[in-house]
Amino acid sequence: MVPAANSPPSSAQQRWPGERLGLPESGPRSIARPGRRIGALAIDWGLSVIVSVAFFQYDAFATLGVFALTQVVFLTLVSGSIGHVLFRIRLVPVAGGWVGAWRPLVRTLLLCVVIPALVWDRDQRGLHDKAAGTVLVVK
């Protein structure tokens, strides 16, 4: 059986991450690769540590709270955290449109738990992104 020309590829036919989602292999709107995502996460966490040291004499829970707050605020307002902006990636809903307020909240809560972010699918989306219906793409 030959698939229709406009049908999404099955997982066995997928040639690059994001192809099943209708995203290009490279360039703008392609899936942000792990290097960019880890770099952005390191920037965001580092900034949270700096704020925690400055205001809370470094408290692990304060660092996590600052991280979560900045993630939710920046993802809601500009579709990307400070690290995302620096690494030229942004968060978009898979269905299109505005990311809204609930997606960053769900995504961030699961990201703070850590384990969902470490489990990826074939499109290199963590469970936190799948639960929120989002994907990180290149600008």
Output the pLDDT for position 13: 83
Q: Where in the sequence is the domain holding 60, given as residue range(s)? A: 30-138
Tens of pLDDT along the chain (139 residues) come to 344 455 555 556 889 999 999 999 999 999 999 999 999 999 999 999 999 999 999 999 999 999 999 999 999 999 999 999 999 999 999 999 999 999 999 999 999 999 999 999 999 999 999 999 999 999 9
58-93: per-residue pLDDT in tens? Answer: 999 999 999 999 999 999 999 999 999 999 999 999
Confirm whether 3 is domain-assigned.
Answer: no
Confirm whether 24 is domain-assigned.
Answer: no
Percent of the chain with pLDDT over 70: 91
Confirm whether 130 is domain-assigned.
Answer: yes
Left (φ > 0), alpha (ψ -120 to 50) or beta: where does 24 sit? beta
Confirm whether 72 is domain-assigned.
Answer: yes
Confirm whether 20 is domain-assigned.
Answer: no
- pTM, to two decimals: 0.88
Confirm whether 75 is domain-assigned.
Answer: yes
How far is it, in rounded angstroms, from Cα 128 to Cα 68? Answer: 13
Confirm whether 99 is domain-assigned.
Answer: yes
- The total of structural domains in the chain comes to 1
Q: Phi and psi at residue 89, in whole multiples of 5°?
A: -130, 160
Confirm whether 12 is domain-assigned.
Answer: no
Q: How far is CA 105 from CA 16, 61, 73, 134, in A?
A: 28, 17, 9, 12
